[in-house]
Structure 1
Amino acid sequence: MDLTNTLHHQNQSDPHSFSKPKEAKITHVDWVLKIDFSLKKISGAGTYFVQHKNAPEVVLDVKGILIQKVTLDDNPEGIEFKLSEENPILGNGLHIPLKQGTEKVVIHFETQPDAAALQWLEPSQTAGKVFPFLFTQSQAILARTWLPCQDSPSVRFTYTAQVTIPPHLLPLMSADNPQCKNETGIYYFMMEQPIPSYLLSLAVGDLEFAPVGGRCGVYAEPVSLENAAWEFAETEKMLKTAEQLYGHYLWGRYDLLVLPPSFPFGGMENPKLTFATPTIIAGDRSLTSLVAHELAHSWSGNLVTNATWNDFWLNEGFTVYFERRIMEHLYGQEYAEMLHTLGYQDLLQTLKELPEHDTSLKLDLSGRDPDEGLTEIAYEKGNYFLRHLERLVGREKFDQFVTTYFSTFSFQSMDTECFIEFLEKELINGNEELRQQVNLNAWIYSPGLPATIPAPQAVLFEKVEQELQRWREGTKPVELETSNWSSHEWQYFLRSLPSEITESKLSELDQAYNFTQSGNSEVLAEWLLIAVHHQYQSAYEALENFLTHVGRRKFLMPLYKALLHTQEGTALAKKIYSKARPNYHAVAYTSIDQLLEAK
């Protein structure tokens, strides 16, 4: 099809970047970086290849980075550059004047110890307790805090990097990675596929590698590696399933890195190397839908990328839908429907909490931190919109549409309006009755959920309901039929407990199922939320331990919010937070700071 016409909507600029890629665009970067744990800084230089038609300048995004020197092409003499006035959310625009025919810009720079993308961990904050650790989190607009870049998801570039580190550690990037340490501490990386800046990543630590398939493997600290490799043993099977659904995997290897528990997300889909939280290592492979999610991003997000953060649903809605299709293929439709049902519950809760204008799929985040758009609206409302389309046209036709979508727009950006054009042409195709049924305006531009959306029906949760009813009628917890339950059934069970419940009933459940000591983070987080709401103090020690050692924002925010409902809880929240905050990444503590400041 003719992409020129289809992509005309993408002339709109990115409200979260100073860069002007239509005038001068970065296409490739060669970085030379040195990692200094003692000073907590990254220093080095980048050679940026610029595509332009005699543009007067190229503009990059920086925030808190010290720019030491800028040169053009092969001339070692520094030139004058300009930093725009600082914006508290966006940082600065780095304006570099270009000469006619300039092809390369070399930028020498140094990060600050408080760079928001970087978390420098002391040995005590790692699994092994011997060596320090560094990891990055660039999404949404934090890449600019550790590397000068055109920090917009609409700009893609290839890169290489030479990284120097202490020789007893191993560095990894969103690139082709080493599988063992060398004696020099100098490593070379290459990313041949063009990626946006939010997928730039770096981790440095005492890491080892274990293969779990021909194209897949796991990196972790030595003490965690065996458990991690067992937990993720089905990754290659997931990859093959994904390819059967929507086409070839175009990134070479797919590896996982298990990070220390302070990582603020479940996972981050850095190309070739998913960053994963250790909280998904449950010992029974019950939480690996997160791996399916990050793997699905290799198509939706990494391959076809939201053009701006206002279009974030295009990344996450497709990914949730794709993730559940992988899980359905591997474990059956009943299993996948449990995931849809829990996701639907999360969506309904989010709709209660968010202001109405933030519940449309297409957002307007101008003047705001784009992290405010990283909600269940993009993930679950986006997923339900795609399920709605599937129901209307049938799975076979919808799968053809999705496959064509990924192949047509590979390594390109996509905004909502461009997607609608593609949908109109490829799926609706002049069918006025179908257009009315699709109801694009209600789904994409209107708040909330369309009234016609059917709630998911999980057969396996109906069985949980039966056991809950028996418990309500007086059956003791130990006599309930729970032996074959997965994490998902337990989550649903806990979410379905009555809002009014006595301490003795909680204690009875706890003794029967050992919730307070659960090694499953999803189940434990649900239980701790119940404990806070009902002041079940027997779980408070576990609560403090969880909040102190786990940095995953998905768990932290609901627990801190729940604590703040009472005076006693607020005092406890502040006491725990004073101890826990140094263990959190900036993405997490920035959100919790705002919560507590309001109290």
Structure 2
Amino acid sequence: MLLRGISLFQRVRITPRVFSAARLQPCSPAHPAQVQVQAQALPYHPAVVSPHATFQVRFFYKPNMPVRDPSTASNYDAWRTQHTTANLKLDFKDKCLRGLVTLELESQTDKESKEIILDSSYLSVSSVKVNSAESKWEVKDRAEPLGAPVHISVPAGAGKGEIVKVDIEVATTDKCTALQWLTPSQTSNKKAPFMFSQCQAIHARSLFPCQDTPDIKSTYSFRITSPHVVVASGVASGDPELQSGDEKLYSFEQKVPIPSYLFALASGDIATAAIGPRSLVATAPDQLEAAKWEFEHDMEKFMDAAEKLVFPYQWGQYNVLVLPPSFPYGGMENPIYTFATPTVVSGDRQNVDVIAHELSHSWSGNLVTSCSWEHFWLNEGWTMYLERRINASIHGDSHFDFSAVIGWKHLEDAMQEFGKDHRFTQLCIDHKGIDPDDAFSTVPYEKGFHMIYYLEGLVGRQNFDKFIPYYFKKWSNKSLDSYEFKDTFLEFFSTSKYADLKGKLDSIDWEGRFYTRGLPPKPEFDTSLIDVCYKLADQWKDKNFKPSTKDVEDLSANQKLVFLGEVQNFEEPLSTEQAEKLGEVYELTKGNNVEIKSAYYAIAMRSNVTSTYPLVAELLGEVGRMKFVRPLFRSLNKVDRELAAKTYEKNRDFYHPICRAMVAKDLGVSE
């Protein structure tokens, strides 16, 4: 096999631009521009000789293997899912989802592929039919991290473009990683059980066999039977139909093609209320009014700002599902229904800006998607950029910079955690042989943001704003990699209209930006909103400082968090008396803002303010988000081991199993 006259394993000079069926991997940390070109499905790949970069070329010929995504075992180059119908029943007693899933797959070859390979993980598959006829199939041995692929025989193959229907009878097992089942005691009103899914990154394969890759997008039909209200990542079609007993059939359609990780379900005691002309909030009935008040003021403002920046919203409805308090995560951008942490509902509308992030995913990530988790920054970097632009349009440009400065601090923290030379600090990360969850961090979010922000600064915001809708229109309903993004950017600015930018465009070190480890170059930001936080923190270093409520009356909740973060990081902690005054004068334990409460409690426990220990224990019985629960338990354990153990034992059934296991490990107690 040759790459246009280049023999195997020969060191050659070729351009970094390889065609879409090739995958780029760094050869070594020392030489991020050196890559392996893996051609996996085609007999050869053209490459253009160039004097500009040295690459090591290795060629692997693997028929019927995926081209761009190493996190799937499916042969999606030979078959592509066009539509998925999920007829599933929720069994709360056995904590199981079971039923019939039908995949409609389009053949990409002319009868060359004789089998369909689907991803699966910890599933019980009982029957497989191809075009309504029994078919030979086999669940192969499990291989981490990809799971146990299902091989389905299609002896005659199918002509190119022909649709093959695959019916699969399937049930989840107790090892399912996509579903979380909550007991009534884990919900706010404690009346009914609750179930929700979390499929990102590669957990959809534990719901049903599928092509579990963001490089494949499918439309969906949901037919979900449950004794409790169901919401899904589709638009409801008709009223629920009464089935046997107290069960109802809920139907949804998702006509915009989505990747498998955006398949989402939730079921429980759920009520809804309008928060805008095209938006609902859904949550437990006893939490509905509070959630409605929290979001209704800003929801349509966010949508209007986003549409002006990109183009009109494509999904019909944008709704928010506020999950039970034991929900251990922050949020998930499922189409139609964003799944959100209940800590967003703080009673002061100070945390609703997080909705701007999830809404932005309606364009970046959901509509235009990275083709694999190696290029995850295309989802999250763009989303951080859009979120900050949306908030700036509502609150002012200084808020863009304020958020970016906070984000830079988070990026520095990630670099410190990984080590600046760790491969997970690259923008593009080789995922071969690793679980995408293991590489998850703020790096694709913030380093990705800085990639987009760098390009904006290079061409100017006015020009970049014209590129934004162009990019999202070109790639709507599609998936792409970093090099296709690069090509799209250069394509847009290659016209004579932007001839004056040629020198700047030629200066972009794309390989360095994609593969260099550690922090990117730090831009200059307006620090006016953050400087006041640092100034106030510096005043608290003086033991004779006399605080006043006026110190914080003009600070937003996020500014207070920056201030508290600085105080928490003092080399010498506040005295007990100072820490008490901090909480009392600034009223940091009042209200429902868990972000502020937890930040203050961390300071108070470090300063041995014993009066706050019962308040910490009380909060730990109300909130299950691991962002707060784990650090608070660790701090409480240091100052009052007995109270920490009692608090855990009292609330262990309230916590999500993942959270419960992590806290037990932190405390050194049995789960």
Do both proteins adopt the same fold according to a TM-score greater than 0.5, normalized to the shorter chain? Answer: yes
Which deviates the most, 392-401 or 132-141? 392-401
Structure 2 residue identity aligned to 1:456: F
Q: Distance in 2 between matches of 1:594 and 1:89?
A: 23
Which of 551, 568, 571 is the matching residue for 1:481? Answer: 551
Q: Distance in 2 between matches of 1:288 and 1:212?
A: 13
Structure with larger Rg: 2
User: Match of 2:458?
Assistant: 392
Q: Secondary structure of the equivalent of 2:149?
A: strand
Unpaired segments ≥5 residues, structure 1: none
Residue 550 (str. 1) matches residue 623 (str. 2): yes
The two structures have a TM-score, normalised by structure 2, of 0.81
CA distance 1:340–1:163, change in 2 (3 Å): same
Deviation at 1:306, TM superposition (A): 1.2
Verify the 8 A CA contact 1:338 1:488 in the aligned structure 2.
no
Q: Distance in 1 between matches of 2:439 and 2:618?
A: 30
Which of 92, 97, 101 is the matching residue for 2:153? Answer: 97
Deviation at 1:372, TM superposition (A): 2.3
Verify the 8 A CA contact 1:344 1:455 in the aligned structure 2.
no
Verify the 8 A CA contact 2:122 2:206 in the aligned structure 1.
yes
Q: Distance in 1 between matches of 2:144 and 2:661?
A: 13
Q: Secondary structure of the equivalent of 1:38?
A: coil
Verify the 8 A CA contact 1:517 1:542 in the aligned structure 2.
no
Deviation string for 1:536-568 (max 9, x for gaps)?
Answer: 54433343444454333433455567678x6x6
User: Match of 1:463?
Assistant: 532
Deviation at 1:395, TM superposition (A): 0.7
Structure 1 residue identity aligned to 2:257: P
Q: Distance in 2 between matches of 1:508 and 1:549?
A: 25
Unpaired segments ≥5 residues, structure 2: 1-16, 24-39, 41-66
Which of 486, 489, 507 is the matching residue for 2:580? Answer: 507
Verify the 8 A CA contact 2:87 2:223 in the aligned structure 1.
yes
Deviation string for 1:268-312 (max 9, x for gaps)?
Answer: 111111111110111121111110000000000001111111111
Which deviates the most, 175-184 or 362-371? 175-184
Q: Percent identity?
A: 34
Deviation at 1:144, TM superposition (A): 1.3
User: Match of 1:174?
Assistant: 233
Structure 2 residue identity aligned to 1:136: S
Deviation at 1:368, TM superposition (A): 2.0
Residue 229 (str. 1) matches residue 292 (str. 2): yes
Q: Distance in 1 between matches of 2:238 and 2:253?
A: 14
Which deviates the most, 357-366 or 8-17? 8-17
Verify the 8 A CA contact 1:64 1:112 in the aligned structure 2.
yes
User: Match of 2:226?
Assistant: 165
The two structures have a TM-score, normalised by structure 1, of 0.91
Deviation at 1:173, TM superposition (A): 0.5
Which deviates the most, 337-346 or 56-65? 337-346
Verify the 8 A CA contact 2:119 2:149 in the aligned structure 1.
yes
Which of 19, 41, 48 is the matching residue for 2:74? Answer: 19
Superposed, 1:140-219 pairs within 5 Å as 140-166=201-227, 169-177=228-236, 183-184=242-243, 185-219=248-282
User: Match of 2:429?
Assistant: 363
Verify the 8 A CA contact 1:360 1:445 in the aligned structure 2.
yes
Which of 315, 340, 354 is the matching residue for 1:251? Answer: 315
Q: Secondary structure of the equivalent of 2:219?
A: strand
Structure 2 residue identity aligned to 1:415: D
Superposed, 1:381-530 pairs within 5 Å as 381-427=447-493, 433-435=503-505, 438-450=508-520, 452-473=521-542, 474-497=544-567, 498-500=570-572, 501-530=574-603
Residue 47 (str. 1) matches residue 102 (str. 2): yes
Deviation at 1:408, TM superposition (A): 0.5
Q: Secondary structure of the equivalent of 1:263?
A: coil
Q: Distance in 2 between matches of 1:542 and 1:254?
A: 36
Q: Distance in 2 between matches of 1:556 and 1:85?
A: 37
CA distance 1:5–1:439, change in 2 (3 Å): closer
Structure 2 residue identity aligned to 1:373: A
Q: Distance in 1 between matches of 2:634 and 2:431?
A: 24
Verify the 8 A CA contact 1:116 1:586 in the aligned structure 2.
no
Deviation at 1:134, TM superposition (A): 0.7
Which of 351, 360, 370 is the matching residue for 2:415? Answer: 351
Deviation string for 1:196-235 (max 9, x for gaps)?
Answer: 0000000001111111222111111111111111111121
Deviation string for 1:424-458 (max 9, x for gaps)?
Answer: 333477856414654333432111123x4125333
User: Match of 2:398?
Assistant: 334
Q: Distance in 2 between matches of 1:415 and 1:577?
A: 45
Q: Secondary structure of the equivalent of 2:346?
A: coil
Q: Distance in 1 between matches of 2:262 and 2:137?
A: 27
Q: Secondary structure of the equivalent of 1:232?
A: helix
Deviation at 1:514, TM superposition (A): 3.5
Deviation at 1:5, TM superposition (A): 9.3
Deviation at 1:511, TM superposition (A): 1.8
Which deviates the most, 356-365 or 8-17? 8-17
Verify the 8 A CA contact 2:185 2:654 in the aligned structure 1.
no
Residue 62 (str. 1) matches residue 120 (str. 2): yes
Pairs aligned (count) = 589
